A and B are shown apart, each in its own frame.
Chain A
Amino acid sequence: MDFRFTQEQQDLIDAAKAFFDGENTPERMRKMAAGEPTTNLWPQFAKLGLLGIMVPESAGGLEQPLVVMAGIAEAAGYAGLPDPYIELAGITVPHAENDELSGPIRRAVRSNLRPYIDAALSTSNEAVISIDPLRNLVKAQGGNDTAIDSINFHGAILTAAQLIGLSKRMLDISVDYAQTRHQFGKAIGSFQAVKHHLANVHTQIEFTRPMVHLAAMKGGAAVHNAKIAAIDTAMLAAESAIQVHGGMGYTYEVDLHFFMKRTWALCGEWGDRNYHMKKLEDYVLNGDAELGPEHTFKTHVMKSGEP
C-alpha cells in the first residue's frame, strides 16, 4: 500500500505538464479562437513518446497504468489543451488492435457517452458547434452506454482528471486576479468573502484528486463517484472564478472563459452527472453494495481468521 505516484511516474507526468504548459499558452488559445494558424503539436506528441504512454512495452510503448494517464490528463486540463491528445492516447490507443498501433489510428472508439468528437478523430462530417471556441466537433458514431466497460471507464476517468486540472487552473487564475485587482484601497483577495470562495475550491480539489486516482486503480462504483466529484468541483471552481473576476470574467478580455467553457463541455462528456448518479442509485440504494469502512481499498476477499 503506497497510494502515491512513484518517482518515475511523477517524472513522466511532470515532463508532460512542462510540455503542455510550454506549448499551449493562452496566446496559442487566443490565436486558435481567432482562427489564426498555430503550432501543430502532433509531431511533438509522437516524438516525446506521449502517444505511447499506454502502449505495451512489446509494441514500443511505456505501458503505464491508467492512473498515470490520469496524471497526464490533469496536466492537459490545466493547460487547457484543445488538441484531442488525451482521447487518442488514453482511450483510442489502449482499445486499438495490435496491428493498428504501428500506423496512424483512424478508428475512434464508440460510445453513446461521448456523442460529439473532435473532427480530427472521426470520419463523420456532421459538424456541431460548441460554445468552447477551441473544440472542433462532429457527431460521433454511437456505441455502448449501458455499462462501465473499459472504454467508458477510461473516458470517465480521463475526463474527470482533466476537470481537476481545469479546476486548479481556474483557481490559480482567480488567485492571481484577486492579488492584483484593488478596490477600497486594497487587493480584493484580502477580503474574507473572496478568500472563502477560493478556499472552498481548493478544498474540493484536494478531495477529488485522490478519488480519481483510486477510481483509476480500482474501477467499479468508485468511477461514478470520481466523475461526479470532478463535475461538482469543476462547476464550483468555474462559478467561483467568474464571481471573483467580476465583470472581467464575463468577457474575452481575460482567459478564464477558455477554461470555464472546457469545463462545461467535459462535465457532460463520458457520462454526465445523471448517468453516474443513476448508476450509484442502483449500486448504493437498490443493490447489495459493500458499504462500511473496510471496503474502500479492499482488493482481497477476507474471511475472519485468515490467513
Chain B
Amino acid sequence: MEIQYTSAQIAFRAEVRDWLAVNTPKSRLPSFDTADGFELHRAWEATLAKDRWGNVNWPKAYGGRGLDLISWLIFEEEYYRADAPLRVSQNGIFLLAPTIMEYGTEAQKARYLPPMASGEEIWAQAWSEPGAGSDMASIRTKAVRDGDHYVITGQKTWSSRAVFADWCFALVRTEARSARHKGLSKILIPLESDGLTRRPIKQLDGDPGFAELFFDEVRVPAENLLGPEHGGWAVAMATAGFERGLLLRSPARFQAAAARLVALYKAHKDRLSSSVGEQVIQAWMNTERFCAATYQLVSRVQAGASISSESSANKLFWSEMDRHMHRTAMSIMGAQAELESGLDAVDNGRWLDGYMFSLAGPIYAGTNEIQRNILAERVLGLPRT
C-alpha cells in the first residue's frame, strides 16, 4: 500500500494549479440552466479544451492528455479548489464518452468525442419517460428501422440541460413487441431534428433545467446507433455505472463544499447551538471518507478491476452526504437561509441553490431505494422482491 504521489503527479498538480489561477473566471458564472449562463459555460468548456484540460484522462487523439485516473482525481481536486465553473458538458464527458469509448466504432469516436471535448456539441440524456422512471425497463418510445434510418416516436422526460443542448443520447425500443430489458437500443439524436419538440420544465429554483422531449417520427441515420441493436440495456447499464460510480461526482466537489461549510460555521459561530459544530464535523468527515474510498476504488480500477455494484453504494453515500452537508448549512444560516439573492443573502444564495440541488441527488441516476435493492440483491444475495 502506497499513498504518496509520484513526483510526476506532484508536478502535474502544480501545472493544473497554475493554469487555473490564470484562467478561472473571477466571478461565478450565472446558472447553466439559463440561456446566457449556458453559453458562458459552453465558452468555458472551449477555454478548457484549448489547452487540453477538459478531459485529462481521455486519449490524446480526442483532446485529452492520456493520463491515468489518479491524475484525473488530482485535476478535480485543483479544479474545485479553484472554484472553477460546473461542467455544462458533464452528461457528455462523464456519462456518454466512456460509453462511446467502450462501445463506439472508430468512426463514432472520431465524430463525437472532439466536438464534445470542445463544447461545440453539448449532450443531454434521454432515458426516463412519464411511465418509465425507477422502472426504466418499461420504456415505450420506439424506433422503427426504415432503410438506412430509424424513425423515432414517443416521449422522454427529466432530460437535464436538453433545453439548450445540441444532442441527446436516448434509450428506445427498436424491436417491435419486445418486453422489458430486451429489444432496447441506444441512439444518438440531434435535438434540432424535425419532429422533435422540447418543452422546458422549471426546476425548484425556477430555471428550466429539465426538458420534456416529444418525438413525432423523428428520422435519424442508422449509423447513430451506439452499441449493438436491441442490446441497449447493457450499454445503458455501463453508463449508469459511470454515473453512480466514479466520474460524475468526484470527492473534490464535496471536499471543497465542506471547507466552505466550516468557514460558514465560523462566521456564524456565536449564535449557534453546540450541536451544530458536530454536524459540521460530520459533513467534513464524510467527505474525507468518500475521498479515501474513491482513491481505493481508483487504485483497484487501475489494477484492472471493473466497477459494478460499487457504484450503487457510492451513489447512496455521496447523495446522502451532500444533502446532510447542505441541510447543515441551511440550519446555520437561520432566517437568512430563505434569501435567494441580493442584500443579506449569504454567498448570494449559493447554499440554498446547493440544498435544492442536493435534494435531487437521492432521486436521479436511479433512486436511492433502487440502489438499496440492487445492493441487497446483487451484492448481499437476498432474494428478488
Contact = CB atoms under 8 A, between A and B. Distances in A.
Interface stretch (A110-118, A151-159, A276-284): A276-284
Nearest to A273: B278
Contacts of B256: 292-293
A217 B70 CA distance: 18
Give chain A's interface secondary structure class. Answer: helix
A222 interface: yes
Interface residues of A, number: 62
A195 B262 contact: no
A5 B3 CA distance: 11
A195 B14 CA distance: 46
Interface string B102-121: 00000000000000000000
Interface in B91-150: none
A297 B3 contact: yes
Contact of A225 (B259, B288, B376): B288
B32 interface: no
A160 to B, nearest CB: 12
B292 A291 contact: no
A213 B296 contact: yes
B255 A1 contact: no
A64 B299 CA distance: 21
B72 to A, nearest CB: 12
B383 A179 contact: yes
A175 B381 contact: yes
A199 B3 contact: no
Interface string B13-52: 1100110010000000000000000000000000000000
A225 B285 CA distance: 6
Nearest to B14: A306
A202 B313 contact: yes
B308 interface: no
Given A299-B4, A304-B17, A307-B7, A291 B262 contact: yes
A292 B261 CA distance: 10
Nearest to B80: A293
A167 B81 CA distance: 35
Contacts of A2: 1-2, 299, 302-303
Contact of A280 (B285, B291, B295): B285
A54 interface: no
A24 interface: no
A58 interface: no
Contact of B5 (A5, A198, A209, A299): A299
A111 B368 CA distance: 43
B344 to A, nearest CB: 25
Interface string A186-197: 110111101110
Given A291-B262, A293-B252, A200 B3 contact: no
29 contacts: A2-B303, A3-B295, A68-B1, A171-B380, A175-B382, A179-B381, A187-B382, A189-B382, A190-B383, A196-B369, A196-B372, A196-B373, A199-B376, A199-B380, A206-B310, A207-B293, A210-B293, A210-B296, A211-B293, A213-B1, A214-B288, A225-B289, A277-B281, A281-B281, A293-B252, A296-B288, A302-B13, A304-B14, A304-B21
Given A175-B380, A299-B5, 12 more contacts: A2-B1, A2-B302, A4-B300, A4-B303, A67-B1, A178-B382, A198-B380, A207-B289, A207-B293, A208-B289, A291-B259, A297-B5
